[in-house]
Amino acid sequence: MRVLLVYPPARDASKPPIGICYLGSYLRQKGHQIEVLDLTAGPLSEDELQKRIEGFHVYDCIGISAIITAYNFVKDFSGKVRKKFPNIPIMVGNAISVSCPRTLLENSAVDVIVVDEGELTVAEVVENIKERKNFINIKGLWFKDEEGNIHRTPSRERIKDIDSLPRPAWDLINMSVYIKHSSAYLDRGIRTGWISAVRGCPFRCEYCSRSFGNKVVNRTANSMVDEILEFNRLFKSTHFQMLADLFMANPKMVKSFARCLIERKVDITWECTGRVDLVDEELLLLMRQSNCISVSYGIESGSQKILDNMDKRVTVEQAKRAIELTRKVDLKLKTPFMFGYVGEDRESIADTVNFIKEMKLGSTVLFFSTPYPGTPLYGWAREKNRIKYDEDTYLSLLGNNADKFLVNLTDFSDEELLKLKSDTELKLRRILPFKVKVEKYVIKRAHHIKARIVQLGFIGTVKKIVTKIMCL
């Protein structure tokens, strides 16, 4: 069978669609011919895309890997394919499938949605297409039958041994585009690599949708290190992002991975996601010794009330301790925060500002709290009539405005909440230490600064930078 896997256009090309590469490799192993249309690495105009669709007659099946913000693309693209080729099956997977399977089937030309891990399920779907069988006996699906009726099959059991899956088929995508658009390359000229490290997250934060569910399945340390070495050999990458809902969900596994890097003398740096109640000094020190350079903690708020409303099951004191320990072993921190969550008031905002100030968090970003379909927060927002649109319209708006203010979850008016966020961000900029402002400015504009030195000379460039920083 000849299968086309499609990756929608994204805002930037800072991270490759590695899920497609893992899936493509598994399907190849089953004897299928796989091609990828990567519209992030190789964007097409409307006319160019339509011309590309004209040639889809050579494919037996089309699969789209999408997150929820690609909802509009999935609708539009599947409609264009269906109009030209009424009989080519179209399936969709990735995070969007967990969030809105019924709504997507009802409002698009998509035939099949894969809601569990993709490898085994997609392989069965492709085989059934080949043999012209119904999908009713395949676990882990939502699908439409020939009469347009929607069916949901039982969930599929998780893959217990993800080491047994074949290595990703990196040749399916233009990896050089992603390497050159990664933050490490743009900031410091360092080539980045990416490894899918852990599947699942055991926690149940109200705002979060978990693509792989709550059961955590780890890869073995040697498997991950082998893949890192292979990626390094192919693409000369020396810094790696360990991709997972929560890489440090199992501290024992993280220690094993760090020791493996040390024992095998692997000369790379790496970063990962962590959780403040799972770290201790021994773990962080071992990570640092294995050349981990950065940990991202989803702290989200400096208010215990808001953390409890999120069902984070962590405390402000645990967050402070994790930050202190992380700095003690000389690891960098990434600490995103949410703004405007359920119960947010002036006191909770002040708690967050004071937390950021006390902990001297130099690079802090505030994101509006957005309820995504498939999460408990979305269910609450629907129940309380906080969302003014039907789900199809709301999903369309999310696609165009994922980082914008769409739903007010607080008791403030919209105008008050917007002003409070603006005022809070201004306050945070003012408390940011000057040294951190300089580092932040220089790192983000490293390549631009080089060009300025050529244009203005060193002294002129320094004067320009100081003027800009003082205005931050």
Q: Give the other-Cβ count within 10 Å of 413's Cβ.
A: 10
Cα gap 79→82, rounded to integer Å = 5
pLDDT of residue 210: 75
Domains in the chain with CATH codes: 2-152 (3.40.50.280), 182-369+409-432 (3.20.20.70), 439-472 (no CATH)
Please give the pLDDT value at position 363.
Answer: 64
User: Which mean pLDDT values do the consecutive 10-residue runs of the chain (472 residues) have?
Assistant: 96 90 97 97 95 96 95 97 96 94 97 93 94 89 93 93 95 94 83 94 90 87 97 96 94 98 98 97 98 96 98 98 98 94 98 96 85 96 96 89 82 97 90 57 54 51 48 40
Would you say the C-alpha torsion 249, 252, 253, 258 has a positive or negative sign? positive
Calculate the CA dihedral of residues 407, 411, 414, 415 and round it to 10 degrees. Answer: -160
Give buried/exposed letters for 284-314 (b at 16+ CB in 10 A, else e). bbbbbebbbebbbbbbbbbbbbbbebbebeb
Residues in contact with 210: Cβ distance below 8 Å, sequence separation at least 6, in sequence order? 98, 200, 201, 245
Q: How far is CA 168 from the centre of its chain?
A: 18
The one-character DSSP state at 372 is P
pLDDT score recorded for residue 13: 87
The answer to whether 440 touches 362, Cβ cutoff 8 Å, is yes
Give residue 132's pLDDT.
79
**CA separation for the pair 438, 434 (Å, rounded):** 6
Which residue is it, tokens 């004897």? 31
pLDDT of residue 247: 95
Cα angle 451, 192, 200 (rounded to 5 degrees) comes to 140
pLDDT of residue 242: 96
Radius of gyration of the chain (CA): 23
Question: DSSP label at 300?
Answer: B
What pLDDT does 467 receive?
A: 44
Please report which residue ranges of 189-290 form alpha helices under DSSP H: 221-235, 251-263, 281-289
What does the alpha-carbon distance between residue 74 and residue 379 come to, in Å, rounded to a whole number?
23
Query: pLDDT at position 432, please?
Result: 63
